[in-house]
Amino acid sequence: MRVATYYSNSDVRVEEMPVPDIGADELLVKVHASGICGSDVMEWYRIKKAPRILGHEIAGEIAEVGNEVDDYKVGERVFVSHHVPCEDCKYCESGHTSVCDTLRSTNFDPGGFAEYLRVPAINVEKGVYHLPDNMTYDEGVFIEPLACVIRGQRFLDIKPEHTVMVIGSGLSGSLHIKLALSKGVSRVIATDISDHRLEAAKKFGAEAVLKAEDVTQDRIREINDGHLVDRIIVCAGVVSAMEQALEVVDRGGNILLFAPLKPDERLSLPVWDIWKNEVSITTSYAACDGDIKEAIRLISDGEVTVNDMITHRLPLEEIQKGFQLTAQGEDSLKVIIKP
């Protein structure tokens, strides 16, 4: 079968490898659609594990079923979660499934940028979901990123009366905009350095869009009835974006650091201001079973539309172009590979 092997953002090679053999308690899935995630082009993170077959936003069709698997049949359409938790450790029991050791060590084989993948037994048990009849494979690609967004907003405790600001309006930021609006949020403000992404944010429902360099307290108060921002979601993994969030968050407000910094980068916190203004800072990573099921429901019911976010559909042979488009972020939002 054909696979796309990642060596660097500028070196993704289409190669050949055998179709994986499956065990009695495993599945073989034919990949019909695989999304390129923003994390796939975080070169500082990915290159240390290269060469590797990436791809974790997948939807496909069951091609083979192990003889000990009873819940799935050949031909069924599925989404497969690449990481799954044990559901028994102290982290899982406390609601922090995404820091579970099992979740951080599980994966399917080889990766979503391949024609087929093997689903290990634990993923079969805890990470395979049937696609609703009205959901396309392309829409299924959005289940994982939307589930991560759902988890983040749950931690952020967004309510309809809040003004929400999204810093960084790429794919994740756009999903945050759509999800917040689906909850009846009163106002969403979006920022980015890209005019293309700001145009998309406006199309997706942001009431106000600002270039990142134009964000000031005075400008936010002008937009937001004299107030700063109740809830801020940082989807840009740079120090300046996080500092900007701290500058414009309102008293009693919450900030979600949805994007990470590089491991060696540090953020200086104005602890006095955070303390006296009762500002909360939270983070989220990955998604859990409940978030995935909610993402499937929201897409299937049309409460969060995703087809209008797809900018490119490419065959596996053009995956290098897809990585370049995603890394540059100027003329693309969601790139889907069709193995």
Whether 259 shows a pLDDT value over 90: the answer reads yes
Dihedral angle of Cα 100, 55, 194, 315, to the nearest 10 degrees: -170
The alpha carbon of 92 is separated from its chain's Cα centroid by a whole number of angstroms, namely 20
Q: What is the pLDDT of residues 22-36, one digit of tens each?
A: 999 999 999 999 999
Same-domain status, 174 and 222: yes
Number of domains into which the chain is organized: 2
Same-domain status, 126 and 206: no
Whether 329 shows a pLDDT value over 90: the answer reads no
The pTM assigned to this predicted structure is 0.97
Which pLDDT band holds residue 257 (cuts at 50, 70, 90)?
very high
Average pLDDT for 181-202: 96
Q: What is the CATH number of the domain that holds 152?
A: 3.40.50.720
Same-domain status, 158 and 126: no
Q: What is the mean pLDDT of the chain?
A: 97
In a domain, 294, yes or no: no
Same-domain status, 133 and 168: no
The range of the structural domain enclosing residue 320 comes to 2-142+306-338
In a domain, 49, yes or no: yes
Average pLDDT for 305-322: 98
C-beta of residue 105 within 8 angstroms of C-beta of residue 99: no
In a domain, 317, yes or no: yes
Average pLDDT for 325-338: 93
Average pLDDT for 270-285: 97
Q: What is the pLDDT of residues 55-114, one digit of tens each?
A: 999 999 999 999 999 999 999 999 999 999 999 999 999 999 999 999 999 999 999 999
The predicted structure's pLDDT at residue 330: 80
Closest CA to 61 of 99, 97, 96, 28: 28
Same-domain status, 242 and 116: no
The predicted structure's pLDDT at residue 313: 98
Whether 200 shows a pLDDT value over 90: the answer reads yes
Average pLDDT for 324-329: 92
Same-domain status, 70 and 137: yes
In a domain, 295, yes or no: no
HSE (CB half, 13 Å, CA atoms) of 223? 24
In a domain, 299, yes or no: no
Whether 192 shows a pLDDT value over 90: the answer reads yes
Same-domain status, 68 and 133: yes
Q: Output the DSSP codes for 299-332.
A: HHHTSS--GGGEEEEEEGGGHHHHHHHHHH-SS-
CA distance 335 to 323: 8
Same-domain status, 137 and 6: yes
% of the chain residues with pLDDT over 70:
100
Average pLDDT for 178-188: 96
